[in-house]
């Protein structure tokens, strides 16, 4: 069960903390209290957090492992091109450096991809696969591959960070 933290805006499966007969949902990112959860909500959270087996990594474009998935606007192929930013987004970000605008536009791309490919992405999230999302951005820079990896994480996948 995905919850949103009002403090930092993180959306994902919360951490759980038992406090006697009650259970608190805490933000995975900032650790702040989100809300108390009842038994039904608790069951949904536990089921969702244990069902996903998908393992997600990110890397620069030169990564060549078998689990490599290109999500660049330049060379991504179907079905992964649904997660590529547009050339307009890339040019505007390079010109302005405005991460918030880019994040908003990229979130719309992610939402549309999940809306159009719900079944395939649900199957992927529940698969025992390892994927590595690649693009051209230098390690440590703001990048859509990390935004997508964190979105998968918010849906129950495990994000392991950057391959080097």
Average pLDDT, the chain: 86
Instruction: Judge whether residue 49 has pLDDT over 80.
Output: no
Mean pLDDT of 102-114: 95
> Is residue 12 helix, strand or coil?
strand
Q: List, for residues 60-99, the tens digit of each pLDDT value.
A: 999 999 999 999 999 999 999 999 999 999 999 999 999 9
Quickly count: other Cβ atoms within 10 Å of residue 149's Cβ.
24
pLDDT at 62: 95
pLDDT at 71: 97
Instruction: Judge whether residue 20 has pLDDT over 60.
Output: yes
Mean pLDDT of 125-136: 92
Percent helix, strand, coil in the chain (nearest 5)?
40, 25, 35
pLDDT at 43: 64
Instruction: Judge whether residue 51 has pLDDT over 60.
Output: no
Residues forming a β-bridge with 25: 16, 35
For residue 13, give Cα distances in angstroms to 10, 77, 87, 151.
9, 30, 32, 11
pLDDT at 5: 83
């Amino acid at each position: 069960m995905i919850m949103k933290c009002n403090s930092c805006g993180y959306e994902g499966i919360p951490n759980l903390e038992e406090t006697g007969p009650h259970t608190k949902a805490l933000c995975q990112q900032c650790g702040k209290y989100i809300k108390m959860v009842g038994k039904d909500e608790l069951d949904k959270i536990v089921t969702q957090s244990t069902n996903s087996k998908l393992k997600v990594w990110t890397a620069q474009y030169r990564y060549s492992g078998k689990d490599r998935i290109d999500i660049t606007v330049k060379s991504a192929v179907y079905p992964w091109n649904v997660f590529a930013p547009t050339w307009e987004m890339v040019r505007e970000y390079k010109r302005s450096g405005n991460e918030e605008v880019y994040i908003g536009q990229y979130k719309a791309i992610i939402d549309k991809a999940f809306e159009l490919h719900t079944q395939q992405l649900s199957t992927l999230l529940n698969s025992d696969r390892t994927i590595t999302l690649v693009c051209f951005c230098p390690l440590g820079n703001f990048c859509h591959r990390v935004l997508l990896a964190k979105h998968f994480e918010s849906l129950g996948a495990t994000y392991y960070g950057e391959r080097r």
